Amino acid sequence: MAAQSTDALLAMFDRAPLNRRYWTSFGLLSAITVLDFFDFFLIAFILSKIGPEWKLTYGQSGLILYGGGIGAIAGALVWGALADVLGRKMQIITGTLICAISAGLIGTLPTGAWVWLAVLRILVGFGLAAAATPCTTIVVELTPTRWRTLMTSLYVVFATGGTFLASIVSASLFTALGWRGLALLGIAPAIIGLFVWLFVGESVRWLAVKGRFAEARAEVARHLGVPLDTVPLPTYVASAPPSASLRELYSNPRLFWQTVIIWAGSSTAVYGYYLWGPTIVAMVLNVGVGVAAGYFVYVSGAAITGKLLISFIAPITGRRRIGIVFGFIASACLTLAALYHDALVGGFPLMIILISAAAFFCEGGFSNLAPYTVEQYGVRLGARSSGLGQAANGVGKVLGPLALAVIAGSSNLVTPQASSQAVTPAFLFLAAGMLLVTGAFIFLGVETHGRAMEDIAAETTGRKQALAAGAGAE
C-alpha cells in the first residue's frame, strides 16, 4: 500500500468549521493573553506612585521598566525553541505561571527595594513572552486558512484588552487597594492557565510535522466530533521535524530582518508611550495617578478599536498594504504628540488625543503583525519565528522606556521639569521607529493573506513540502 502523507489529514482539519471546540480554545487563549498583558502593564501605574515615594531616578525607573523587555527577549527565544520541539500547549502554561507568580510577588516587596522590583520585572517579561510566543503560534495553526486573517487578527485584540484592563483597574481600585493590592492581582493568569491545560488541545499541525500521527489523528477526530476511523492516518511527513535551532530563522535573511525591524519598531513606540505615559502625564500636567490612569483608558480604548478595525480590513486589503498605511500614520501622530505635548483642547490634554490616535494605528498594526510573522515561516519554524518576533518585541520594550531615561538624564530624579524637557525628543524617537516599520513593509514584506501556511513556508524558507524522491514508493 502506498505511503500516505499528512496532506489529507491537514486538508480535513483545514476544512473544519469554527465549532464549539474551536471557540473554547480561542476564548481561553484570548483570556490568558488579556491577563498576561494586564500583569505586564500594571507597573506603569504602580511606578507613577512609587517613583516619587521611593525617590527613584530616571535610571532606576528605566531599569524597572525595561527589565521586562530584557526578560521578554530571553523568554521568547528559549520558549520559542522549546515549543517547536516539545509542543505549544505546555509552554503556554509554564510561561503563564512564571508571569503570574512574578507579578504577584511585586506586591510583597519592602519599600525602596527597587533592585528586587527590577528582577521581578525581568521574570514577568520572561513569562509573558514565554506564554505569548506559543500562544500566537497555536492560534494561527488552529484556525482554518479561509478564516485565518480575520480570526488571528482579532485574537491580538486581547493583548490590548490587557492594557485596557490595567488602566480600568488602576483608575477604579488604586485608591482602595493601594499599589501593593494592585500588584497582588497579578496572580490571576495562573487560574486561566489551569483551564488551558484542561481544555485546549495540542496543535494538530505541529503534531503532524513532528510525525506524531496517532495523536494528530485523535485530535482531529475530537475537534470535528467524528469517529476516529473516518480520519486519515499519515505514515510519513514531507519535511524534517522541527528542531530547536534558532539558526534556521536566518535561512531567509530578508524575512529575518523584516521581522526584527517591524516588531522592534512597533514595540519601541508602544511600550515607550504606555510605560512612561502615565508618569509623564501625572508629572507634566500635575494630576494624580488615578487621573493619569483614567486618561490612558482612552489610549487603550483607541488601541482596541484600531485592532478591531484592522481585523476586518486586512482580509480585504491583505496584510502588507495595511501594514504600510498604519505604520506611516502612526509615525505622524507620534511626531505631533512630540511637538504639542503640553497643549490643551477644551481643557483636555492634546497629548492624550494624539497618543490615542497613535495607539489606534500602532496597535492596530500589531493585530496584523503577530500572526503575519508565524504565517510567513510555517509550522516547522512557527514558534521560533514567533519567538524571534517576541524577542524583537522585547528589544522595543527596552528601547522605548530607555529612550526617555537617556534623554532626560538617567541620574535625574523623575520630576515635572525633567519630564517636560525629555518629551519632544523622546517621542520623535518613537515616531522614527514607526517610520522604520513602514519601510520594512514596503521593501521587505510579502503577502500571506489567503495562502496556505505550507505554501508560504515553501516559498519563504526555500523548503519543499513535497515528499523526497522515491519515498512515495514505500
Interval 241-251: pLDDT, tens:
777 788 888 88
In three state form, how does the secondary structure of 27-78 look?
A: HHHHHHHHHHHHHHHHHHHHHHHHHHHCCCEHHHHHHHHHHHHHHHHHHHHH
Contact 387, 80 (CB under 8 A): yes
Of the pLDDT bands very low, low, confident and very high (cuts 50, 70, 90), residue 321 is: very high
Interval 186-223: pLDDT, tens:
898 899 999 999 999 999 999 998 889 999 999 999 99
Contact 158, 32 (CB under 8 A): no
Q: What is the pLDDT of residue 18?
A: 93
- Tell me whether residue 34 is exposed, middle or buried, using C-beta atoms within 10 angstroms of its C-beta: 0 to 12, 13 to 18, 19 or more: buried
**b/e map of 176-205 (b: 16 or more CB within 10 Å)?**
ebebeebbbbbbbbbebbeebeeebbbbbb
Of the pLDDT bands very low, low, confident and very high (cuts 50, 70, 90), residue 471 is: very low
Torsion of CA 231, 232, 236, 241, to 10 degrees: -30
- At which residue does the C-alpha cell 493583548 appear? 159
Of the pLDDT bands very low, low, confident and very high (cuts 50, 70, 90), residue 462 is: low
In three state form, how does the secondary structure of 396-446 look?
A: HHHHHHHHHHHHHCCCCECCHHHHHHHHHHHHHHHHHHHHHHHHHHHHHCC
pLDDT at 438 exceeding the cut of 70:
yes
For 360, half-sphere exposure in the C-beta direction (CA atoms, 13 angstrom radius) is 14
pLDDT at 279 exceeding the cut of 50:
yes
The answer regarding whether domain 7-238+249-461 maps to CATH 1.20.1250.20 reads yes
pLDDT at 288 exceeding the cut of 60:
yes
- At which residue does the C-alpha cell 490643551 appear? 344
Cell numbers that stand for 295 in this block: 486618561
Q: What is the pLDDT of residue 108?
A: 92
- Of the candidates 83, 96, 167, 152, which has an alpha carbon nearest to the alpha carbon of residue 129? 96
Single-letter residue type at 317: T
Beta partners for residue 348, in sequence order: 345
Q: What is the pLDDT of residue 6?
A: 83
Percent of the chain residues topping a pLDDT of 90: 38
Three-state secondary-structure class, residue 93: helix
Q: Which sequence spans correspond to the domains of the chain?
A: 7-238+249-461
Relative to beta strand 348-349, strand 344-345 is: antiparallel
Contact 128, 36 (CB under 8 A): yes
Q: How distant, in Å, are the alpha carbons of 146, 311, 317 from that of 314?
A: 13, 6, 5
Q: What is the pLDDT of residue 217?
A: 94
Interval 355-395: pLDDT, tens:
999 999 998 888 888 889 889 888 888 889 989 998 898 88
- Of the candidates 75, 155, 156, 67, which has an alpha carbon nearest to the alpha carbon of residue 114? 67
Task: Identify which has the larger pLDDT, 350 or 409.
Answer: 350
pLDDT at 472 exceeding the cut of 60:
no
Task: Identify which has the larger pLDDT, 280 or 21.
Answer: 21
- Helix runs in 143-203, H state only: 145-184, 189-199
Three-state secondary-structure class, residue 288: coil
Main-chain dihedrals φ then ψ at residue 234, nearest 5 degrees: -65, 160
